Amino acid sequence: MSEHVAEPQAEVKSDELQHRNLALLVYVLQGLGFFAGGITCVAALIVNYLKMNEVRDTWLESHFRWQLNTFWYGLLWTFVAAMFWIVLLGWLAGGVVTLWLIYRIVKGALYLNDNKPIIF
């Protein structure tokens, strides 16, 4: 019986596809955060941190960094918007933060779909 040995190139493509699917999952979880009170965003954050080393030095690393920045800056700006509620401008600040988050999630997903890294 002859054993079939996987070609290194096929293995790399398989890993890339798996990591690409993880990046897509994170974008979906971030988007669902608008409807789930943000809990899915925390799950996305955990996936990013657990898998970051596996995508280091690949085009997908830019997506993972983009997603991490989206979470942390989104949290910061949400906090700032909450502070604006005190002076009754929170609806405006909250709207700006929401639009910014939607933009980042959609842009990242579109670049991922086109197999392109995100350039900061």
Token couple for 7: 């070609």
What pLDDT score does 80 carry? 84
pLDDT tens per residue, range 27-80: 999 999 999 988 999 999 999 999 999 999 999 999 999 999 999 999 999 888
CA distances from 53 to 7, 40, 43, 109 (A): 23, 22, 17, 21
Cβ-contact 52, 64 below 8 angstroms: yes
What pLDDT score does 57 carry? 94
What pLDDT score does 12 carry? 62
Please state the rounded mean pLDDT for residues 77-93.
Answer: 78
Q: What is the pTM of this model?
A: 0.75
Cβ-contact 41, 29 below 8 angstroms: yes
- pLDDT-above-90 percentage for the chain: 64
CA distances from 30 to 8, 27, 46, 84 (A): 33, 5, 12, 24
